[in-house]
Structure 1
Amino acid sequence: MEKLSNLITLVGILMASPAQATSLHDAISNNDFKGFKAILASEKDKLLELRDELGRTPLLYSTQLNRVEMAKILIENGADVNARDAKHDTPYLYAGAEGKNEILAMTLEKGADLKSTNRYGGTALIPAAEKGHLETVKMLLKTKINVNHINRLGWTALLEAVILSDGGETHQKIIQELIKGGADVNIADKEGVTPLQHAQRRNYTKIVEILKAAGAR
């Protein structure tokens, strides 16, 4: 299924008209709202899923630049919130990973695939937790996303919130949210090291306390 999805993405990139893709992407890049609407109105059905040289649809590009109003118009007109680029990102996955919460909310309302994964095999929740996007984590935990999903590195969102953080207050809160959301505090990494052991090795005293209180070993 993944190979078929990649093939469809490649075909979409090859079929895109470079001039059309460039004009719409340029309007997004320049935050030219008037031009954006004019271009989209001319041939909406042909333009929504056109790709640039990196395989990004207008919606994904709008998401990356946090052009909220442009993203809203594209989504309202039927843009695919799960369309992948050459890096395996989608508007939904990118919004989640980078804390673009306004756009994330719109993708969730329009059928975001909660089981979809990025190039590291992680759901949107994992990078959101790692990068310290507390409100994003809260939003995602209100969905049916798998809080204990393990990526190709062998890490859950909880493990990444420990291993790749500074142990500060934001990540402490994220870890608490993950635990409230059902995170298994004893899922270890590929080497058998648990979140508690990682926190102890880094002298993250507060996180150690949080994990122990939740039954971590």
Structure 2
Amino acid sequence: MTPAAYAQGCSAALALLGLLSAVMSLLSAALVFQLRAEQAAMKASAAVPAEASLVLAPVSAVLAALSLVLSLSSAAACLLHSYFAADVCGGDGDTRGADWFLLDSRAVRHVAVGLFCVGVSVYLAGPGWKELATSTARLTRRARCKMDDGLLKNSTTLTNKQRGNEVTVPPATLDSLSVHQLAAQGELSQVAAHLSKNASLLNSRDERGFTPLMWAAAFGEIAVVEMLLESGADPTILARERESALTLASSGGYADIVAILLKHGVDINSYDWNGGTPLLNAVRGNHVRCVDTLLVGGADLTFEADSGYSPMDLAVALGHKKVQKAIEDHVLKLLKYKTKS
């Protein structure tokens, strides 16, 4: 290899290293100074999570470290290039090439740029690694707080008793609850007491048009449901949005209450404001037992809601495999029964 070719190859390598070092230095500088200038805004912004701001600061440190490595590599390559170029040129017995390289200003510029990048990298890496240490400490403290939170919670908030305050509003008692609220909570004796004082409360409606029976069915209070039905509650009443006791029980998945209501002659295919039947509500909630009970009771499988979904379509759309199987088994039973007939 001739000295000129060797010098050209080394110059190209040095130029590439210097370019990469400069890019890394600029990126790390931009990140460090931008993070410092907008640190408060990033923490206060709801669009940037706190964890993201903690991660971005170490990124600048990593870029600064890469810049430092590349700058040192550039400086080392310059020195090695000077040594080996002088050696190669000296081997030819002609020192003009070596003298040309050693005195050429381009090599001096390469070394100067490399040393400058080293200084900038050291300056940037210091605060970057400081930010990394601070971020790590924050994350460590946060993890420890989460671990200790389940073991010990020390509150510095004064209680009302410590402040000398008195409770001005007494807690709600059973006497202050309506018959609808008592039915929803399953207070059987309290509901019976209200009905004994005022029989008109049996089918009374609240602001939504719900009766005590509807509230008991919606919350799965089977004892209250049985007591109200024995007392003469009307299970066919519809609320303002056409909800029925059967619809509410099906939505909650209370198959036992559904069976009880079906024995009292309710409309099994009654629909609410959006065209949902008790069967559709049971399918939507993935309540397999309710679906079985309604199918045995004669629920219409072809009835579609306003959205256009039939019970089977809805089960497939929601991915309720067990409900799909229950419907398929019911259809097969119907087909076998018709075949035998």
Query: Which TM-score band (shorter chain)?
Result: 0.5 to 0.7
* 2:189 equivalent in structure 1: 69
Would you tell me which structure has more helix in proportion to its own residues?
A: 2
Kindly report structure 1 stretches of 4+ aligned residues shifted beyond 6 Å: none
SS of structure 2 residue aligned to 1:215: helix
Q: Larger Rg: 1 or 2?
A: 2
* 2:249 equivalent in structure 1: 128
Q: How does 1:33-182 map to 2 (within 5 A)?
A: 58-79=178-199, 80-163=201-284, 165=285, 167=286, 171-182=287-298
1:93 touches 1:117 (CA, 8 Å); kept in 2? no
Whole-Å separation in 2 of the counterparts to 1:175 and 1:84: 28
Q: If the length of structure 2 is used for normalisation, what is the TM-score?
A: 0.44
* 1:19 equivalent in structure 2: none
> Which ranges in structure 1 are unaligned for 5 or more consecutive residues?
1-28, 37-51
SS of structure 2 residue aligned to 1:214: helix
Letter in 1 for 2:276: W
**Residue deviations 1:30-65, cap 9 Å, x none?**
24xxxx6xxxxxxxxxxxxxxx8xxx8x42232133
* 1:197 equivalent in structure 2: 313
State yes or no: 1:188 paired with 2:331: no
**Residue deviations 1:69-100, cap 9 Å, x none?**
11122223443211011121211111112212
SS of structure 2 residue aligned to 1:112: coil
Whole-Å separation in 1 of the counterparts to 2:182 and 2:328: 42
1:185 touches 1:215 (CA, 8 Å); kept in 2? no
Letter in 2 for 1:132: G
2:249 touches 2:257 (CA, 8 Å); kept in 1? yes
Whole-Å separation in 2 of the counterparts to 1:76 and 1:203: 48
* 1:13 equivalent in structure 2: none
Q: If the length of structure 1 is used for normalisation, what is the TM-score?
A: 0.67
2:214 touches 2:248 (CA, 8 Å); kept in 1? no
Whole-Å separation in 1 of the counterparts to 2:240 and 2:218: 12
RMSD: 2.3
For residues 64 and 191 of structure 1, do their structure 2 counterparts lie closer, same or farther at Cα, with a shift above 3 Å needed?
Answer: closer
